[in-house]
Each structure stands twice: as structure tokens, then as C-alpha cells.
């Protein structure tokens, strides 16, 4: 799915497919350094996932379970984290410009 998403971004949405992790259980997965711009992640279980240095601009983890996830040095600008469980999540030096964290 990540390869298809990378192609989707590289071809400016003409080829490949936007990553859709909605409602998936991705507990503990390593997404460090990944380009996940615009990825759909609503209601996903991402407990303990590592997004260190990842590009999550405009990603949509709305209502996602992100407990203990690492977002250190990640770009979360315009990401929609509203309603997510962010207990013990780490955001050290993360870029959060215009991120929606309402009710998170």
C-alpha cells in the first residue's frame, strides 16, 4: 500500500492509489520517515506506531487510537487528529501548523 501511495504522490494523483488505513490495526508499525501526505487513517489502531520524521501533511487520522505513538520530528501540518486518543504520544519537535486536534 505504501508503494501505491508513493506513486500516487509522485504522479500528482494520476497513478497509484491514496493510502487508506481506515479502521486497520497497525499497532507498533514503523512508519518512520514515510511520506504519508493525505493518507486516510480514520479510526485506525496505531498504538505504539513510529512516525518519527514522517510527512503526514493533511493526513486524516480522525478518531484514531494513537496511544504511545511517536511523532517526533514529523510534519503534521493540516493533519486532522480530532477525536483521536493521543495518551502518551510523543510530538517532540513535530510541526503542527494548522493541525486539527480538537477533542483529541
| Digitized pLDDT (tens) for each residue of the chain, 104 residues in all | 999 999 999 999 999 999 999 999 999 999 999 999 999 999 999 999 999 999 999 999 999 999 999 999 999 999 999 999 999 999 999 999 999 998 77
Looking at residue 41, what is its pLDDT? Answer: 96
Looking at residue 103, what is its pLDDT? Answer: 74
pTM: 0.90
Contact between 39 and 53 (Cβ < 8 Å)? no
d(CA 57, CA 77): 5
Looking at residue 102, what is its pLDDT? Answer: 86
d(CA 68, CA 3): 26
d(CA 55, CA 99): 13
Torsion sign across C-alpha atoms 22, 78, 70, 39: positive
Amino acid at each position: 500500500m505504501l508503494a501505491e501511495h508513493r506513486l500516487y504522490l509522485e504522479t500528482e494523483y494520476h497513478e497509484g492509489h491514496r493510502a487508506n488505513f481506515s479502521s486497520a490495526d497497525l499497532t507498533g508499525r514503523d512508519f518512520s520517515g514515510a511520506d504519508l501526505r493525505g493518507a486516510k487513517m480514520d479510526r485506525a489502531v496505531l498504538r505504539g506506531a513510529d512516525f518519527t520524521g514522517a510527512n503526514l501533511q493533511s493526513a486524516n487520522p480522525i478518531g484514531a487510537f494513537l496511544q504511545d505513538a511517536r511523532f517526533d520530528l514529523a510534519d503534521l501540518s493540516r493533519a486532522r487528529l480530532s477525536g483521536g486518543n493521543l495518551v502518551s504520544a510523543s510530538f517532540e519537535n513535530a510541526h503542527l501548523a494548522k493541525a486539527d486536534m480538537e477533542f483529541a
